Every structure is written in C-alpha cells, then in structure tokens.
Chains A and B, each alone.
Chain A
C-alpha cells in the first residue's frame, strides 16, 4: 500500500483539515443554539462558555490550515505548467482539465471559485471565535451578536461546502499526483 507525497498532502488538506471543519460546523451550530435557546439554563457553568470559545478557535485553526496548505502546498502542483513537448499531462492537473472541453469547466468554474471562496471561511470563523471568547457569558445580553455568529458559522460552512465539493470533483477528474512514494504497508505477493 503506497501513496505519493502529493496525494498525501491532498488527503491532509481535504480529508483531514477540510472535512474536520465541515464536521465541526454542524456541531458549532448545535452548540450555539443549545447554549442560547429560550429554554437554556439562565446561568450555565462558565466552563460551557469557555468550551464554545475553544471549539470555535479550533475550527478557525482548521480553516486556516486548510486554506494555507491548499494555497501554498497543493495549488502550485495543480497549476504547474507542463514543459514544452509534454505528451502526458497526468502530473499537470490544470493543463489536463483544460485540454478537454468535457473537463475544462471543472477548472474554469470549479477551481476558480474554490480557490477564492475558501478564503472567506477562515475570515468569518475567526471573527466568530474572537467574539465568543471576548464576550463569553455576556453574549446572552447581545442578541444581534448571536444572530451574526449563527450567520457567520452558516456562511462559512456554505463556503467550505463549495470548496470541499469542487475539491473532491477536481481530485476525481485530475488528481494531484507525483512526488516521492511513501510505502504505508508492505504487501505479500498473492
């Protein structure tokens, strides 16, 4: 069982940081709702407020790790131009997609949207995390801040969903491959 270093980074970026962010997002909405719903206890333990702040801070860290690995590690491999005379475009995903009208829109719409919209996620969730950490228990006195928090988390999930969907489809149509091979498990000849 082997994997290339580029595939490994793609996994870390998408299935690791990105997927964890998406999973954590629904938890954050539930957490926020439970904490501030009408039937929530009037004076919950301060630990719960701290936990929500820590939860959102971890989400922010995941969002930053996702966009930074995507932009500065994987994207350069994706967009590298093939040398003149290259016949096999397997190591050049962007060129491979653009070489075929049936796949070119995956780059022209999919990647072009994904690479930019993904950056809205860390901006929105960092703001949400800072607000929760800063206000903590006082948030219950600021209904409009809670509206903003819910909205930011939902919007960040929507943007992350767009990026995740196109990331998966791009990887299906033109995976980022290459680099050194890492052997995960040594198999036996059958």
Chain B
C-alpha cells in the first residue's frame, strides 16, 4: 500500500516570495501614484490640463489612467526582477503599507492642500 497520500506535499515553500512581493510593492507604488498625481493636478493648472485626457471627467481621467500605467509597469518590472527570488518581505510590506497609508492621507483634500 502506497503511503504517498499521507506525506505532506511540501516541506517548505515551493514558490518563492518574489512574485508576491512584486504584487504587494507595485500596489503600493500604484496607489502612491494616484496620490502624487492628485496633488500635482491640484497645485498646477498645467498638470491639470495635461491630465484631462477625457474632457467630461476632467483631470481624474488622467490621474487614474497614468496611475494604472505606473502600477502595471512597476508590477511588470518587479515581477521580472524577483520572479525566482526570495526577498525580504517584511521590509517590502512596511514600504507598501507606508505608501498605501500616505496615499489615503494625501488624497484627503485638507492634507493635500498643506503641501
């Protein structure tokens, strides 16, 4: 009788944490891009006009489209670099959550106006 079914499938992680870290950090970068472009459009009429790629929605169209491009580009680059690697995920988490937290704060207009 085979005992194969009772043996755990993995003794340690088979998939390195690099691809997961890439997704986590890229999401932080993409979110931060939303915040930075929001503040930039608010401070500069030129940036606001440049970001109004779809007139009925105004600068919001450019802020979100550009942020998604930044997010996906960051994800692709990080995925390419970390695909087969294990990285310090604790540090990556700290950076990603800091970026997400800052994005929440900077998109809050009274705080964005202080910059």
Which A positions have Cβ atoms within 8 angstroms of B? Answer: 42-43, 67, 71-72, 75-76, 79-80, 108-109, 112-113, 115-117, 119-120, 123-124, 126-127, 130-131, 134-135, 137-138, 141-142, 144-145, 147-148, 151-152, 155, 158-159
Contact = CB atoms under 8 A, between A and B. Distances in A.
Q: Closest 10 CB pairs between A and B?
A: A76-B56, A141-B13, A144-B89, A127-B27, A116-B107, A127-B23, A112-B109, A145-B20, A148-B24, A120-B31
Nearest to A129: B23
Contact of B30 (A43, A123, A130): A123
A148 B17 contact: no
Interface of B: 8-10, 12-15, 17, 19-21, 23-24, 26-27, 30-31, 34-35, 38, 54, 56-58, 60-61, 63-64, 67-68, 71, 89-90, 93, 96-97, 100, 103-104, 107-110
12 contacts: A71-B60, A72-B61, A79-B56, A117-B104, A120-B103, A123-B27, A134-B19, A135-B15, A142-B13, A142-B17, A145-B17, A159-B104
**Interface class of chain A by DSSP:** helix
Interface centre among B54, B71, B108, B109 (most CB of A within 10 A): B109
B14 to A, nearest CB: 6
B89 A75 contact: no
**Interface class of chain B by DSSP:** helix
Given A109-B109, A141-B12, A148-B93, A116 B35 contact: yes
